A = this chain, B = another copy of it.
Amino acid sequence: MTETKKAVLLMSGGLDSTTVLAIAKAQGYEVYALSFDYGQRHSVELDCVKKIIAKSTVKEHKIVKIDLRAFGGSALTADIDVPKNDQLDEGSTQIPVTYVPARNTIFLSFALGYAEVVGAYDIFLGVNAIDYSNYPDCRPEFIEQFEKLANLATAVGVQGKGMIKIHAPLIQMSKADIIKTGLELGVDYSLTNSCYDPSPKGESCGRCDACHLRLAGFQQNGIKDPVPYASS
């Protein structure tokens, strides 16, 4: 009898983390999903998470409330306008205003605590270095460094002698490849949300960076994005 492999998954309700959920399950992991209520403007995110989780089989789902608004500093949590039609030029080193200071470090730290409590050695997240190359905490070197830290930071890491793995299976994939992979695994993308600034009814704006990337990804797969977009 082999023991079930447990994994903690950072789950945002977006296209990326929903694809990672399907990948982790296809790899035989029992999934402990972790989401955050962090004062994000696009709280429609959490509604999506709940719907996706309800249709999937996960061992447990926790939503942890944290107040990233206490510091401000990002268009996603403070009163800064989300930019429209304002994608960065290729090769730019500017960091977008939608970057949330230390967000992935904070999210991974909580995932690590959760992993420690449930006895998981594997943490999955949907970061992507291609589409978000200017977010410092979406780069492969950040993920590698966090893995090293995780194995020093916790009882499970220290006693397991470096067994904690941070899995970022999408990190070098294009949005089109991510969607292709998800479709092959049966992901229902109609449940996901990627928009930074959805309408109160949950319609995507179609104009922010995240919508642009998502729409292009579906287009490259020759199919229509199943989520509703505001018509204006």
A residues touching B (Cβ–Cβ < 8 Å)? 62, 64-68, 70-73, 95, 99-106, 108-110, 112-114, 116-117, 136-137, 139, 141-142, 145-146, 148-150, 152-155, 157-158
| CA distance in complex: A114, B154 (Å) | 23
By the criterion CB–CB under 8 Å, are B62 and A64 in contact? no
Distance (whole angstroms) from the CB of A144 to the closest CB of chain B: 9
User: Which 9 A-B residue pairings sit nearest by Cβ, starting from the closest?
Assistant: A102-B113, A73-B117, A101-B116, A101-B113, A106-B109, A105-B109, A102-B112, A109-B109, A71-B117
Contacts of A149 in B (CB 8 A): 105, 142, 145-146, 148-149
By the criterion CB–CB under 8 Å, are A155 and B106 in contact? no
- Knowing A136-B154, A148-B145, say if A101 contacts B73 (CB, 8 Å): no
Jot down 18 A-B pairs with beta carbons below 8 A, ordered by A. A62-B71, A71-B114, A72-B117, A73-B113, A73-B116, A101-B113, A101-B117, A101-B155, A102-B154, A104-B153, A105-B149, A109-B109, A136-B152, A137-B153, A139-B152, A141-B152, A145-B145, A145-B149
Contacts of A103 in B (CB 8 A): 113
Contacts of A106 in B (CB 8 A): 106, 109-110, 113
By the criterion CB–CB under 8 Å, are A109 and B113 in contact? no
| CA distance in complex: A149, B150 (Å) | 11
Distance (whole angstroms) from the CB of A151 to the closest CB of chain B: 9
In the complex, the count of this chain's copies comes to 2
Name the contact of A142 in the complex, choosing from B62, B71, B152 (C-beta under 8 A).
B152
By the criterion CB–CB under 8 Å, are B155 and A136 in contact? yes
- Excluding A108-B109, A136-B154, 11 further A-B contacts by CB distance (< 8 Å) are A65-B66, A73-B113, A101-B116, A101-B155, A102-B113, A105-B149, A105-B150, A106-B113, A136-B155, A139-B152, A145-B153
Contacts of A110 in B (CB 8 A): 102, 106
By the criterion CB–CB under 8 Å, are A136 and B158 in contact? yes
Distance (whole angstroms) from the CB of A183 to the closest CB of chain B: 32
